[in-house]
Amino acid sequence: MTTYFERQLKEIDHSVHSMDMEVFERWVEEACETLKAGHKIIVSGLGKNVPICDKFVGSMLSLGLDAAFLHTNSAVHGDMGVIKDGDMVIILTKSGETAESVYLSRLLEERDINKWLLTFEKESTLTKEIPNAIVLDLIHEGDQWNIMPNNSTTVNLIVLQGLAMKVAANMGITLEDFKRNHPGGHIGETLRK
């Protein structure tokens, strides 16, 4: 079984190292500018990316940074109201071809927002339509058929958490800021001591 984990760690390592760090740094800068201007970071995904988006939003809110989740499917049923002019919207889609993601992206063209894409396909409908894109290379998902969202969702989590941590550092978020938002549980107890 150890071999399985070692193989997945290599896949994840390869994927993370395929990221264009200049583009990532620009993403961080633009996210900071968005927040400093009083706007929020919105992540949109569906399927297995939903809990990944939730984790990112939870981390941002714990840091006192404004973020929200927009489910790609329910967006067109009124939830697009969460988006305000000046917000950054990040769309997660492995293929860049998911019909709901493409539809949402095109609807967002009518809004004054900063749109970003997190994907694993260099050539797709959405990489052609969204110039701000973090495109990662994924050799294998880590399941028996190379089809289950497994390694891709793990990498999405790592990248989004990296975004949150870099934004927090650049925004000068302190432990006291975090402490204000996290009074409960073991973390809250630890921070009170």
Residue 2 or 45, more confident: 45
3-class SS of residue 155: helix
Predicted confidence (pLDDT) at residue 1 exceeds the cutoff of 90:
no
Is the pLDDT at 39 greater than 90? The verdict is: yes
Residue 179 banded pLDDT, cuts 50, 70, 90: confident
User: Mean pLDDT across the chain, nearest whole number?
Assistant: 96
Rounded Cα gap, residues 152 and 95, in angstroms: 10
Stretch 28-37: mean pLDDT, rounded?
98
On the question of pLDDT at 64 being above 80, the answer is yes
Which tens digit of pLDDT belongs to each residue from 89-123? 999 999 999 999 999 999 999 999 999 999 999 99
pLDDT band at 187 (very low <50, low <70, confident <90, very high): confident
What the block records as the tokens of 43 is: 């992540």
Q: Is the pLDDT of residue 167 over 80?
A: yes
Domains recognised in the chain with CATH numbers: 2-192 (3.40.50.10490)
| Structure token digits, residue 106 | 């095109």
Q: State the pLDDT confidence band at 154, using cuts at 50, 70 and 90.
A: very high
Three-state SS at 112: coil
- Distance, CA of 180 to CA of 46 (rounded, Å): 31
Instruction: Say what percent of the chain tops pLDDT 90.
Output: 91
Q: Where are the alpha helices (DSSP H) in 87-174?
A: 99-108, 125-129, 151-170
Read off the pLDDT of each residue in 141-160 and give the average, rounded to a whole number.
Answer: 96
Helix (H, G, I), strand (E, B) or coil at 20: coil
Q: What's the pLDDT at 191?
A: 82
Please give the span between the terminal C-alpha atoms of the chain, in angstroms, as a whole number. Answer: 40
d(CA 42, CA 90): 6
Q: Which candidate, 160, 170, 192, places its Cα nearest to that of 51?
A: 160
Indicate the range of 10-14, 87-91, 179-183 predicted with least confidence: 179-183
Check residue 116 and report its DSSP letter: E
